[in-house]
Chain A
């Protein structure tokens, strides 16, 4: 039996209760305005994140564990992701204050954000395939609805249908993989599955590989790895822009959490040379994402391709994981950084779209004068995404590429990952800089200042402080990421 006082259960109870109560309030009070629901959701998320922070600071939780006898484990790995996901959810919620004004069903919107964030948090905490799958679905199903939430907008609906079809396919593939893993080992607990995998005879090995391949494919859909990425730009462009922030910064990172829990451990147990394949995928993913991003004229679409590219960067850390502890640490750090950066960028885009109703890059000329704070936030986050030195993106990229070069002693091809990453970063600076140039250095039709939404300003200020602050003083986060890395060398001694 699980301890009902553990962090994930308390988070589930808190956010779930608020998420269920919100629509009921809307039925009873018949209130059309959205601020009440946004306030409640914001309060719940703040309570949740402060609870997690309290647990971490008071050192009540155990260090990163690989598996437990329960479906959930209360460890630092989960807490790290919980912090990241909850930050993204809070940014989305605050960013939606303005976006949702006057739209229908605000209570359902915020309730679904809360439920989806429970799913994202629980994925990181789960140590059982059933729990992982169920949490995966709790993350997916609300986001299907959220992506299609603008019912009058054809593009939102199209985005949602594509997202739904690929998401449902990915969950189908995942459950097929789970079924094979269960069939081979007779258990659904990840620890039992791994130890069962390591005891398999050679005749069962192809099946185990099939299962791991299905996991990679299934999670890869959500992460946006290259052969499975075709739905992603459409969905990010079409869905409400705040929701695109949630998808890009939240669900994608939850996919990485699931991948870290399942794929890496599973493949280590199988003791196969899978790292090269992941490295290839990483290079292709980042190259495709960045090359496609250059050609985009639409701000959100460009950010979507950029997030594909960043999936490639994060994958570098995963591909060198078994030989370098620092690789996973760097991946975790970049996951947190990228979550904040991308969420900030998308919410800035949402602010631009709601106030000026433009998303084409040519239309945002002279934005620096019209919306100074939003464009400052967008600039900072874009520079951080590109990895410009004093910002947080620089440190995490540095750690990623550095670990790749470090791993060159074991894997001779690993430094090429770093080379590809640096080249791609340079490439990305081109289109990020293009946007910055449009905003600040080109003459537009008007340079009259427009009133910026307060909620967007709040998010921007928070993200500027976060990005610059971590860029200046990254040590505590790096320490935290270090403590969240599971001890993989202990794992490889199973067999």
Chain B
């Protein structure tokens, strides 16, 4: 394999940065969820890359945990978004204005 570890880590950093950009700019709840998924995935990519280069299996194990947890998180988040949609007929969190602060 001719790619070094640093290539994968740089890709992961790029994904992390894109995720942070999305969280900072977007106000659509589903898009923000996308951005969070990207951050989690960049961490997973990091973990598996390190696990390949160290090498041991703990990184892969942690990546598996992280993937499963992300699934659980997304399920709860989407349920919240659906409830919000039923109430507001909208999923833009900038339009959620019942709490002032």
Contacts and interface: CB of A to CB of B under 8 A. Distances in A.
Interface in B18-40: 19, 23, 29, 32-33, 36, 39-40
A160 B80 contact: yes
Nearest to B87: A154
B76 A144 contact: yes
Interface string B76-101: 11011101100110000100101101
A141 B76 contact: yes
Contacts of B66: 133, 175
Contacts of A171: 40, 69, 73
B47 A179 contact: yes
Contacts of A168: 33, 36, 73, 77
Majority secondary structure of chain A interface residues (helix, strand, loop or mixed)? helix
Contact of B46 (A137, A165, A183): A183
A256 interface: no
B47 A182 contact: yes
B43 A165 contact: no
Interface in A142-159: 144-145, 148, 151, 154-155, 157-159
A169 B22 CA distance: 11
Given A157-B80, A162-B93, A234 B101 contact: yes
Given A169-B36, A178-B62, A182-B59, A233 B101 contact: yes
A151 B83 contact: yes
A173 B101 CA distance: 25
Contacts of A161: 29, 80-81, 84, 93, 96
Nearest to A189: B58
Contact of B99 (A130, A164, A237): A237
13 contacts: A141-B73, A157-B83, A158-B84, A158-B93, A158-B99, A161-B29, A161-B93, A162-B93, A171-B69, A172-B36, A176-B43, A179-B62, A183-B46
A310 interface: no
Contact of A175 (B33, B40, B56, B80): B40
B54 A186 contact: yes
B101 A165 contact: no
A176 B9 CA distance: 11
Contacts of A144: 73, 76-77, 80
B63 to A, nearest CB: 9
A234 B99 contact: yes
B50 A183 contact: yes
B36 A165 contact: yes
Interface string A173-194: 1011011101100111000000
A338 interface: no
Contact of A158 (B19, B59, B79, B96): B96
Chain B interface residue bracket vs A: 35 or more
A468 interface: no
B1 interface: no
Q: Interface majority SS on B: helix, strand, loop or mixed?
A: helix
Interface of A: 129-130, 133-134, 137, 141, 144-145, 148, 151, 154-155, 157-162, 164-165, 168-169, 171-173, 175-176, 178-180, 182-183, 186-188, 233-234, 237-238, 301
A188 B83 contact: no
Contacts of A237: 99, 101
Contacts of B59: 179, 182-183
Given A130-B61, A151-B83, A182-B62, A158 B32 contact: no
A178 B83 contact: no
A294 to B, nearest CB: 15
Nearest to B46: A179
A183 B36 CA distance: 22
Interface in B44-77: 44, 46-47, 49-51, 54, 56, 58-59, 61-62, 65-66, 69, 72-73, 76-77
**Most chain A C-beta atoms within 10 Å of own C-beta, residue among B23, B93, B99:** B99
A108 to B, nearest CB: 12
A148 B80 contact: yes
Contact of A134 (B23, B56, B65, B76): B65
B93 A164 contact: no
A144 B78 CA distance: 11
A154 B29 contact: no
A154 B76 contact: no
Given A133-B65, A133-B66, A186-B56, 19 more contacts: A144-B80, A145-B76, A154-B98, A155-B99, A157-B84, A157-B96, A161-B93, A168-B36, A169-B39, A171-B40, A172-B36, A172-B39, A176-B42, A178-B47, A179-B44, A182-B58, A182-B59, A186-B58, A301-B101
Contacts of A169: 23, 36, 39
Contacts of B76: 141, 144-145, 164
Q: Top 5 A-B pairs ranked by shortest CB distance?
A: A183-B50, A172-B39, A179-B46, A176-B43, A158-B96
Given A141-B72, A148-B83, A188-B62, A159 B43 contact: no
A164 B101 contact: no
Contact of A188 (B33, B58, B80, B87): B58
A157 B56 CA distance: 43
Contacts of B83: 148, 151, 157
Contacts of B79: 145
Nearest to A234: B99
A176 B70 CA distance: 13
Nearest to B61: A130
Contacts of B54: 183, 186
